[in-house]
Structure 1
Amino acid sequence: MSRLASLAPRQRVLVVVSLTVLVAIGGGIYFWSKGGSASGATTASAADASASGGDDSGVGILLGLAKTAVSEKRLVAPAGSNAYEFYLSVLQLDPQNKVALDDLHESFPTASADVERAINNNNLDEAQRELSLLREFDSTNYILSLLGGKLDAQRQIQIRQDEARAAAMQAQQQSAGNGSML
């Protein structure tokens, strides 16, 4: 028996109406995003041209996303939606883009502080991802070398702590096992 058939009639009506509304909203969004009318198309193309500075390659859009990420203090996190990734994407399209290069240089101290904060919070995998992102921009910076060393040291500390916990658990299990034999 299908799942829809097992629902009460009132619930079936609710499901059908909900699906119809979702389809209508989706169609409206698609129609609107494609510039549904002549005036809508003109407005959309004008907005696109102004956002990209007349650049059809997407550089303007990426720069806009990066500026938004900077203003929202998303320099290196979260993955996939941060200023560094947007700026690096701009540089892939236009390696000499002055805006992207300047903004990356300007935000470097704050971004490296974010990496150090992730290390201090013992969020080592995230710190590694962020550090790799900064190294993609400037692999020769001594601050990144220092952060890499700090990250490696923190990983070693975490390994030793895990080993100590494992040894304590094993000792506890052995003492519990010896106690039950008596």
Structure 2
Amino acid sequence: MSVSPAPTRHPWLAVGALLLLVAVLGLLRRPPVAHVSDDEAGGRAILLALAQSAEREHRLLAPAGSNAYEFYLSVLGLEPDDAATREALQRLFPAATKVVEQTIDHGELDEAERELRLLRDFDADNYLLALLAGKLAAQRHLEVRRHEARAAILQARARRAVQPAR
């Protein structure tokens, strides 16, 4: 007596299992996809929101630690090839250079130097930044001369006060 195999009750289960196996094998052959962690994606979203808020409030370069340029540069730190962030920085660049120039004109030279560094972090070879650096250096030179002149006046007054009256 020969034993014949039992008839399959659910032929669609075998077909489904075969399709599942093909799908799994197809996934295994794909190259790994660069995955951005949820923390990085969340951090990027937060930084972009902060940058856009700072931009709306016209905080392009100041205050330190809470301005659009620093937030956008932080996004580039997470994703160096982020075209939208690079475009935003490029769009803000002309207004930001005006901010640096105004800061120099107001005599806030240390702040202007910090702001200029931010712009250089984005576009170190821009000729406008070279011009602004020259203006900043000239203002620093003038400031040194003013301090020297003030010191000379104070020394002359001090000498006169010490000399006996004639």
Fold match by TM threshold 0.5: yes
Question: In 2 relative to 1, CA 84–71 (structure 1 residues): closer, same or farther, beyond 3 Å?
Answer: same
Amino acid at match of 2:80: P
Query: Which deviates further from its counterpart, 158-167 or 97-106?
Result: 97-106
Partner of 1:89: 74
Q: 1:67 aligns with which of 52, 62, 73?
A: 52
Partner of 1:101: 86
**What secondary structure does 1:70 align onto?**
helix
Amino acid at match of 2:68: A
Which consecutive unaligned segments of at least 5 residues does structure 2 have?
1-36
Q: How many equivalent residue pairs?
A: 128
Question: In 2 relative to 1, CA 125–101 (structure 1 residues): closer, same or farther, beyond 3 Å?
Answer: same
- 2-structure distance, mates of 1:118, 1:175: 38
Q: CA RMSD in A?
A: 1.3
Query: Which deviates further from its counterpart, 156-165 or 55-64?
Result: 55-64
Where does 1:2-17 land on structure 2 (aligned, <5 Å)? none
Select the structure of larger CA radius of gyration. 2
Deviation string 1:136-156 (CA, Å, 9 cap, x unpaired) is 000000000000000000000
Q: Runs in 1 of length 4+ with deviation above 4 angstroms?
A: none
Partner of 1:13: none
Cα offset, 1:55, TM superposition: 5.3
Higher relative contact order (CA 8 A, sep 6+): 2
Which consecutive unaligned segments of at least 5 residues does structure 1 have?
1-53
Does the alignment pair 1:137 with 2:89? Answer: no
Partner of 2:159: 174
Amino acid at match of 2:104: I
Cα offset, 1:56, TM superposition: 3.5
Cα offset, 1:181, TM superposition: 4.9
**What secondary structure does 1:75 align onto?**
coil
Q: 2:150 aligns with which of 165, 173, 177?
A: 165
Cα offset, 1:98, TM superposition: 1.6
- 2-structure distance, mates of 1:126, 1:118: 7
Greater helix percent: which structure? Answer: 1
TM norm structure 2: 0.74
